[in-house]
């Protein structure tokens, strides 16, 4: 009889941890905000033509950002 209560208590505790704790399955608000921050990229303007480009895709020469190699070599 005691074993049944211990198993029942363990199941209730597991359900509580999974669904009601801050880091559980249903708490997607924290995860989505972290994902949005990491997915957002800073956009910068090309010094030559004025086109906006993501910092990851930009070319840098002498501390200035360019959108392409053509703009960088002008």
Kindly state whether residues 31 and 51 are assigned to the same domain: no
- Whole-number pLDDT of residue 1: 87
* 24 plus 58 within the same structural domain: no
Q: Which two three-digit tokens encode residue 56? A: 């990851």
Mean pLDDT of the chain: 81
Q: CB neighbours (10 Å) of residue 47?
A: 16
Query: Same structural domain for residues 31 and 64?
Result: no
- Does residue 27 sit in the same domain as residue 3? yes
63 torsion bin: left (phi>0), alpha (psi -120 to 50), beta (else): left
Residue 66 burial (CB < 10 Å; 0-12/13-18/19+)?
buried
More confident: 72 or 18: 72
32 and 6 inside one domain: yes
Higher pLDDT, 72 or 35: 72
Q: Are residues 30 and 65 in the same domain?
A: no
Structural domain count, the chain: 2
In terms of residue numbers, what domain contains 66? 41-74
Q: Are residues 33 and 59 in the same domain?
A: no
* Same domain assignment for residues 58 and 31: no
CA distance 59 to 37: 23
């Amino acid at each position: 009889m005691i074993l049944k209560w211990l198993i029942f208590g363990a199941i209730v505790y597991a359900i509580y941890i999974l669904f009601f704790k801050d880091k559980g399955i249903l708490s997607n608000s924290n995860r989505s905000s972290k994902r949005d921050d990491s997915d957002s990229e800073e956009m910068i303007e090309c010094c030559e033509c004025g086109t906006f480009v993501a910092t990851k895709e930009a070319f840098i020469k002498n501390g200035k950002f360019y959108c392409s190699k053509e703009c960088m070599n002008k």
